[in-house]
Amino acid sequence: MKVTVIGTGYVGLVSGACFAEAGNKVMCLDLDAAKIATLNAGGIPIHEPGLEPMVARNREAGRLLFSSSYDEAVEHGDIIFLAVGTPPDEDGSADLSHILSAARSVGQRIRRSVVVVDKSTVPVGTADKVREAIASELARRGADLRFHVVSNPEFLKEGAAVNDFMRPDRIVIGSDDAEATAVMRQLYKPFNRNHNKLIEMDVRSAELTKYAANAMLATRISFMNELANLAEDLGADIEAVRHGIGSDPRIGPSFLYAGVGYGGSCFPKDVKALLKTAGDRGRRLRILDAVEQANEAQKSVLFDKISAHFGGSAGLRGLRIALWGLSFKPNTDDMREAPSLVLIGQLLAAGCSVQAYDPVARDEARRILQARHPDAFGSGALAIVASAKDALQDVDALALVTEWQEFRSPDFDALAACLRRKVIFDGRNQYEPAEVQAAGLAYHGIGRGTAGAAK
């Protein structure tokens, strides 16, 4: 089939490459000409495991094309995906200007019947707005063409995006037209081989499904984070509690990991957008309100532990802290809403200096941090170094913020020799407290109370 994908961000590029991998002829459009030049030269603008070779082989096979021309891209596809960004507006609602401008651009150019698919995460009702935008452009041209707008939200996780797309656990198709549904069924056939993963529903339900999924997952995380904080007060270990509840099939084991709060491009933005959607209709989502507040608070938890350990502001001043992990989660260079940014800001404000390392997000982190703390790099208060080991040189303590594989099993004796103040702050509960303590290091995790230590 001939597919056009508008927008080459995470969702657009992964979708385009995977549709091409399944044998379709795909053209990806981005108005950012530099990005298209990079893609045409064989580079990819994001770090995503498995994506680069997939883009390369499909490009070489002529199944994956990149363009910055709307004329070319709209002419190409019988199915046109809108996968442009929907960043949060100042009031938290999703900014639809990109998606509606893409819709207008499609409406100005289509010359045959097409299916237009909303792939971006967009508030309920957006498909109607996309339909209106296309229809009004057609009317302006005096063109009488049939087209359908379908909602097909994407559930891929960064760091596992290619696998999630190729082996989806569900494919949600929201469509109010049987013909359009049939086209989508056909397109997804190669991804829907052994078990039926297609879930067909009306457009609005599909739009809401995406927000419901992310809001539910964010809720689980905030719930566990709050319980973890309580576990500490009670002298209980949240890791044991996680096992204890996760084995209940009604609860399940995933997304129960306490930590330094959720970040990324989706959860924070989608929780805010759903709250706004509800608020616009005069409905208060009390649980989701609390989820967001709990997450904001959780991003400070590691700093609070560091501060408490060293006796507050006087004890913090002049400390040098090693920080492992900058991206919002492992296997991505994405720094959006990363808890590391909050911790670094707090440490610098408290007069600490920070020596940070991340396996892939170093450049992206430097770009963002240089803008936020322009003086800190020059003064040496903030350094981003080239290895986990380099981060440990001449520091007082270690804070683990992102659980990259390479941080999983350090040599604790070597760490004890490096860290002047002999303490680890484990923001992701990666280490066994007893093992760390056996090396002569103090250990602070998230919710890892120890029996007898109840406050």
Distance in angstroms (rounded) separating the CA atoms of residues 302 and 194: 45
Q: Assess 157 for contact with ligand UDX (CB under 6 A).
A: yes
Piece of 72-80, 95-103, 150-158, 273-281 that binds ligand UDX (CB under 6 A): 150-158
Piece of 138-146, 255-263, 285-293, 382-390 that binds ligand UDX (CB under 6 A): 255-263
Q: Are 333 and 46 in contact (CB under 8 A)?
A: yes
Number of residues that bind ligand UDX (CB under 6 A): 19
Q: Are 141 and 109 in contact (CB under 8 A)?
A: no
Q: Are 126 and 156 in contact (CB under 8 A)?
A: no
Question: Taking CA 353 as the corner, what is the angle to CA 352 and CA 354, rounded to the nearest 5 degrees?
Answer: 120
Among 3, 115, 203, 256, binds ligand UDX (CB under 6 A): 256
Among 211, 262, 324, 443, binds ligand UDX (CB under 6 A): 262
Distance in angstroms (rounded) separating the CA atoms of residues 217 and 215: 5
Residue number with CB closer to ligand UDX (157 or 204) = 157
Q: Which helix (H) or strand (E) holds 297?
A: helix 286-298
Among 180, 228, 266, 350, binds ligand UDX (CB under 6 A): 266
What's the closest the beta carbon of residue 9 comes to ligand UDX, in angstroms? 12
Q: Assess 221 for contact with ligand UDX (CB under 6 A).
A: yes
What's the closest the beta carbon of residue 257 comes to ligand UDX, in angstroms? 3
Q: Is 266 annotated in the active site?
A: yes
Residues in a beta bridge with 201: 174
Q: Assess 412 for contact with ligand UDX (CB under 6 A).
A: no
Among 116, 156, 203, 228, binds ligand UDX (CB under 6 A): 156
Q: Assess 151 for contact with ligand UDX (CB under 6 A).
A: no
* CA nearest neighbour of 134 among 114, 158, 105: 105
Q: Are 127 and 149 in contact (CB under 8 A)?
A: yes
Among 264, 410, 447, 449, binds ligand UDX (CB under 6 A): 264
Residue number with CB closer to ligand UDX (328 or 357) = 328
* CA nearest neighbour of 188 among 102, 81, 114: 81
Q: Assess 223 for contact with ligand UDX (CB under 6 A).
A: no
Q: Assess 263 for contact with ligand UDX (CB under 6 A).
A: yes
Report which DSSP code applies to 189.
Answer: G
Q: Binding string, 198-217, against ligand UDX, x = CB under 6 A? A: ----------------x--x
Residue number with CB closer to ligand UDX (266 or 391) = 266
Piece of 69-77, 149-157, 365-373, 376-384 that binds ligand UDX (CB under 6 A): 149-157
Q: Assess 427 for contact with ligand UDX (CB under 6 A).
A: no
**Secondary structure, 3-state, 6-19:** ECCCHHHHHHHHHH
Q: Assess 272 for contact with ligand UDX (CB under 6 A).
A: no
Distance in angstroms (rounded) separating the CA atoms of residues 233 and 27: 55
Q: Are 302 and 401 in contact (CB under 8 A)?
A: yes
Stretch 316-375 residues interacting with ligand UDX (CB under 6 A) = 328-329
Q: Where are the beta strands (DSSP E) in 19-108?
A: 25-29, 64-67, 79-82
Residue number with CB closer to ligand UDX (30 or 270) = 270
* CA nearest neighbour of 25 among 82, 64, 67: 64
Q: Kindly list the distances between the CA atom of residue 415 and the CA atoms of 152, 401, 422, in Å, as whole numbers in the listed order.
A: 48, 16, 8
331: left (phi over 0), alpha (psi -120 to 50) or beta: left
Piece of 57-65, 148-156, 347-355, 372-380 that binds ligand UDX (CB under 6 A): 148-156
What's the closest the beta carbon of residue 408 comes to ligand UDX, in angstroms? 15
Q: Assess 310 for contact with ligand UDX (CB under 6 A).
A: no
* CA nearest neighbour of 400 among 377, 417, 379, 419: 419
Q: Which helix (H) or strand (E) holds 2?
A: strand 2-6
Given 18, 28, 266, 352, which residue is catalytic? 266
Pairing of strands 423-426, 442-444: parallel
Q: Are 247 and 253 in contact (CB under 8 A)?
A: yes
What's the closest the beta carbon of residue 386 comes to ligand UDX, in angstroms? 24
Among 7, 16, 123, 259, binds ligand UDX (CB under 6 A): 259
What's the closest the beta carbon of residue 106 comes to ligand UDX, in angstroms? 24
Residue number with CB closer to ligand UDX (157 or 362) = 157
* CA nearest neighbour of 153 among 221, 101, 205, 93: 205
Active site residues: 266
Residues in contact with ligand UDX by CB under 6 A are 154-158, 214, 217, 221, 255-257, 259, 262-264, 266-267, 328-329
